[in-house]
């Protein structure tokens, strides 16, 4: 076996899965490299690393072409609100999340108000934060407001993610909901019978 110097685990985690990751029998100074390979595990991302075992939220999407509608729930049944709302969804077209539309309104009508949109892995907000966007919510009646991510967020087909809308403390987001589980691919705030009104648009990512 060719001799190689032991590389610190922190350095290995930052490398594109080289060094000892591709050699399970590699050892140096009586030690065996057992660290997992960190990297982008989203196949549709521009920097997908086929050797990565653990996703480190490093995925990027160099967009090409125009956004295409993917997931949607456009039936509104009633209005509700809170300071913090989220909705999970299952990606159909893998690539970059380029646009997200949500039916809501500014909590300080008749003025626009600031809000933050966050994207997480998995159901709810306990997963990895993949990206966020500062937006302004338009006042007036509930309507589908569209927000564009300047840097599309790489998402894998068939995987569950969640978007979250947060407004400053002591404000309440007024949003449109539907009951009876009209969107089977996710839920609003963890209630299996509720869904927000939303639409996602995905864009293709170039392959590096």
Per-residue pLDDT, 71: 98
Per-residue pLDDT, 203: 98
DSSP for residue 98: E
Of 202, 157, 154, 125, nearest to 55 (Cα)? Answer: 154
Does position 149 have pLDDT exceeding 70, yes or no?
Answer: yes
Who wins on pLDDT, 52 or 34? 52
Per-residue pLDDT tens digits for 42-87: 999 999 998 888 899 999 999 999 999 999 999 999 998 888 899 9
Residues 122, 161: contact at Cβ < 8 Å? Answer: yes
Residues 105, 139: contact at Cβ < 8 Å? Answer: yes
Of 128, 113, 205, 193, nearest to 164 (Cα)? Answer: 128
Per-residue pLDDT tens digits for 4-15: 334 444 444 445
> What is the spatial distance between Cα 119 and Cα 164, in angstroms, rounded to a whole number?
6
Q: How confident is residue 205, by pLDDT bands cut at 50, 70 and 90?
A: very high
Residues 198, 89: contact at Cβ < 8 Å? Answer: yes
What is the model's pTM?
Answer: 0.84
Burial grade of 75 (CB within 10 A; 0-12, 13-18, 19 or more): middle
Strands 173-178 vs 160-166: parallel, antiparallel or unpaired: unpaired
Who wins on pLDDT, 171 or 150? 150
- In this prediction, what percent of the chain has a pLDDT beyond 90? 69
Both structure tokens of 141: 């009646």
Residues 15, 45: contact at Cβ < 8 Å? Answer: no
Q: How confident is residue 17, by pLDDT bands cut at 50, 70 and 90?
A: low
Per-residue pLDDT, 7: 40
Residues 205, 91: contact at Cβ < 8 Å? Answer: no
Per-residue pLDDT tens digits for 85-107: 999 999 999 999 999 999 999 98
> What is the spatial distance between Cα 15 and Cα 13, in angstroms, rounded to a whole number?
6
Given the structure tokens 């690393």, which residue do they identify?
49
Per-residue pLDDT tens digits for 120-135: 999 999 999 999 999 9
Contacting residues for 9 by C-beta, under 8 A, at least 6 apart: 35
Domains detected in the chain: 9-55 (no CATH), 63-205 (2.60.120)
């Amino acid at each position: 076996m060719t001799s190689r110097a032991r590389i610190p685990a922190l350095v290995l985690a930052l490398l594109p899965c080289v060094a000892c990751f591709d050699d399970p029998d590699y050892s140096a100074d009586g030690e065996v490299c057992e660290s997992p390979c960190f990297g982008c595990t989203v196949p549709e991302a521009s920097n997908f690393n086929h050797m990565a075992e653990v996703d480190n939220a490093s995925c990027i999407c160099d967009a090409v072409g125009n956004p295409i509608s993917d997931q949607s729930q456009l039936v509104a049944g009633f209005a509700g609100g809170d300071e913090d709302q989220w909705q999970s969804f299952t990606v159909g077209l893998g690539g970059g999340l380029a646009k997200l539309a949500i039916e809501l309104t500014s909590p300080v009508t008749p003025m626009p108000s600031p809000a933050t949109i966050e994207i997480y892995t998995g159901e709810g907000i306990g997963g990895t934060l993949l990206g966020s966007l500062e937006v302004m919510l338009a006042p007036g009646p509930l309507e589908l407001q569209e927000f564009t991510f300047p840097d599309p967020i790489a998402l894998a087909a068939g995987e569950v993610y969640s978007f979250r809308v947060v407004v400053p403390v002591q404000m309440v987001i007024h949003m449109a909901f539907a009951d009876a589980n009209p969107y089977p691919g996710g839920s609003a705030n963890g209630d299996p019978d509720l869904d927000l009104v939303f639409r996602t648009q995905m864009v293709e990512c170039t392959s590096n």
